[in-house]
């Protein structure tokens, strides 16, 4: 068998595979001999059917199958031996006058080659790494929220200042129908809050959404409005009062501290705030890391330039899925997936150049920590290592879970590498400031 490659350009090539009779003949003969041993044809004893009859009945189908096996095996070996980095799969070039009655065959395959490019993690950029802090306002609000949550709830008939309301916001035209709990101090304009004073359960108040809250993003929480619509939204909504309650705040004492954090773990209000700050900033760090990862990804996509074998990939996409696509559909699919493919190539380059690998020990350690956190959420604070190891073994026996967890481990490794090598400015912000930065405001 002879295999040659012709480079069309830097991103496209044609591989020609010449298959001679010597490459497949013995395999075809063996298969036909096995057919003959087991063939049941009227007029002949089992195993005594003439080979000419077997050849006539099965020969062409067996020839096609065995030639294809030899072809695919040798083509795959060639791609590995030549260390060709290809995109998609080889595409056979259709020959209209192909003759299967010959003894020697020639097959051409189109290849889409991965581009050559470099990734510069240290290049100049405009990325900001945020450190989100739980400021005094947030801590005080959280303490007050805890006092109300653990305080005594009293139902009322009439709204007064300081009450909590269960309200259904609705606007049929805009598809708004959201029931939520609010306190009157959530409204930016005091005139809006005053509209509720003196109202009773079942009353409906008409209010405008423009400037309703100090941050338009709160429309997402209270009215369930999509982010793309919240900025400057100026419509009227009906607010129906479903319930009125006031809360007699819980006393900040040791009994409450023990209920919240376990006996003796926290002994003062300052201790409560310290614990809230610690827990909140752990969550904030995850959000800041995700934004950092997203921003680095965008930077790499913008700064790393290379061409793709687009026409080849469009042609490949036409028959890559279960359902064949038209050329137009394949072009649309390519347009949707191009950025993802580009980042996949960039990420692969970074992983190779920085020797980022996932070991089974990495996977076990990550899964173990994940399980400990999940168990802690359900009050199991001190599970035995034996219990943890048993759960880890069960989880990692599922290939889908292994794939999902592997992606998370690699994401963490990439994050660590980016923090080490991408030069960025850092900025300390409150959570409210971070939300504004997150949405580019």
Q: What is the DSSP string of 95-119?
A: -TT--TTSSSEEEEEEEEEPPP---
CA 232 – CA 234 distance, rounded (Å)? 6
- Residue positions counted in the chain: 441
The pTM (predicted TM-score) of the whole model is: 0.72
Averaged over successive runs of 10 residues, the pLDDT of the chain (441 residues) comes to 93 95 91 84 80 86 92 93 93 84 91 95 93 94 90 90 91 91 88 93 93 87 86 90 90 92 91 94 93 95 95 93 92 95 95 94 93 81 85 93 94 95 94 82 53
Using alpha carbons only, give the angle 252, 254, 255 rounded to the nearest 5 degrees: 90
Predicted pLDDT at 40: 77
Q: Which helix (H) or strand (E) holds 348?
A: helix 327-353
The residue with tokens 């191009």 is: 338
43 close to 137: Cβ distance less than 8 angstroms:
no
Measured between alpha carbons, how far is residue 194 from residues 161, 185, 207 in Å? 8, 10, 11
Task: Specify the CATH number of the domain 279-438.
Answer: 1.10.3120
Q: Give residue 162's pLDDT.
A: 83
Q: How far apart are CA 291 and CA 77, in angstroms?
A: 42
CB 242 within 8 A of CB 201: yes
Residue 20 CA to residue 364 CA, distance in Å, equals 50
**Residue 330 CB neighbour total at 10 angstroms:** 20
pLDDT computed for residue 362 by the predictor: 94
Give me 356's structure tokens: 């980022």
> For the domain 2-113, what is the CATH code?
3.30.70.1050
pLDDT reported for residue 363: 94
- CB within 8 Å of 314: residues ≥ 6 apart: 327, 330, 331, 334
User: In this structure, are residues 298 and 285 in contact, taking their beta carbons and an 8 Å threshold?
Assistant: no
| Residues facing residue 154 across a β-bridge | 246
Segments making up each domain of the chain, as ranges: 2-113, 152-248, 279-438
Write the CATH number of the domain with boundaries 152-248.
3.10.50.30
Q: Which pLDDT score is estimated for 441? A: 53
Residue 215: predicted pLDDT: 84
- Which of the 8 DSSP states describes residue 185? G
Cα 193 to Cα 156, 177, 184, 208, 319: the distances in Å are 17, 20, 5, 12, 61
Say which residues have a Cβ less than 8 Å from residue 345's Cβ, sequence separation at least 6. 114, 115, 117, 306
Q: In sequence order, what are the beta bridge partners of 237?
A: 207
Distance CA 246, CA 313 (A): 64
139 three-class SS: helix
């Amino acid at each position: 068998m002879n295999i040659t490659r012709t480079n069309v350009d830097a991103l496209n090539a044609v591989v020609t595979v010449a298959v001679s009779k010597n490459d497949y003949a013995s395999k075809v003969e063996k298969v036909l001999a096995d057919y003959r041993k087991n063939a049941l044809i009227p007029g002949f004893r089992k195993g005594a059917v003439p080979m000419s009859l077997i050849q006539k009945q099965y020969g062409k189908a067996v020839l096609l199958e065995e030639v294809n096996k030899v072809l695919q095996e040798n083509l795959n070996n060639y791609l590995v031996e030549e260390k060709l980095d290809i995109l998609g799969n080889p595409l056979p070039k259709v020959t209209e006058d192909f003759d299967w009655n010959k003894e020697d065959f020639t097959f051409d395959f189109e290849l889409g080659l991965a581009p050559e490019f470099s990734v510069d993690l240290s290049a100049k950029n405009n990325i900001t790494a945020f450190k989100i802090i739980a400021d005094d306002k947030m801590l005080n609000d959280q303490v007050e929220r805890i006092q109300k949550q653990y305080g005594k709830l009293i139902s009322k008939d009439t709204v007064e200042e300081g009450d909590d309301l269960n309200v259904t916001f609705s606007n049929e035209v805009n598809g708004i129908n959201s029931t939520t709990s609010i306190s009157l101090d959530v409204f930016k304009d005091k005139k809006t809050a005053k509209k509720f004073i003196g109202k009773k359960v079942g009353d409906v108040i008409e209010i405008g959404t423009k400037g309703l809250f100090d941050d338009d993003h709160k429309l997402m929480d209270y009215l369930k409005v999509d982010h793309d619509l919240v900025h400057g939204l100026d419509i009227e909504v009906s607010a129906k009062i479903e319930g009125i309650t006031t809360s007699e705040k819980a006393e900040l004492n040791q009994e409450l501290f023990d209920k919240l954090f376990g006996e003796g773990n926290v002994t003062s209000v300052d201790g409560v705030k310290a614990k809230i700050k610690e827990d909140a900033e752990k969550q904030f760090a995850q959000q800041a890391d995700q934004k950092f990862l997203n921003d680095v990804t965008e930077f790499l996509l913008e700064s790393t330039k290379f061409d793709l074998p687009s026409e080849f990939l469009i042609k490949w996409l036409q028959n890559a899925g279960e359902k064949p696509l038209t050329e137009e559909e394949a072009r649309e699919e390519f347009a949707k997936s191009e950025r993802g493919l580009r980042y996949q190539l960039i990420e692969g380059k970074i992983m190779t150049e920085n020797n980022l690998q996932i070991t089974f020990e990495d996977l076990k350690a990550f899964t173990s920590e994940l399980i400990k956190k999940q168990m802690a959420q359900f009050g199991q604070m001190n599970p035995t290592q034996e219990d943890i190891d048993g759960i880890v073994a069960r989880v990692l026996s599922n290939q889908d879970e292994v794939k999902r967890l592997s992606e998370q481990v690699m994401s963490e490794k990439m994050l660590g590498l980016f923090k080490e090598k991408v030069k960025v400015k850092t900025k300390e912000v409150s959570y409210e400031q971070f939300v504004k930065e997150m949405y580019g405001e």
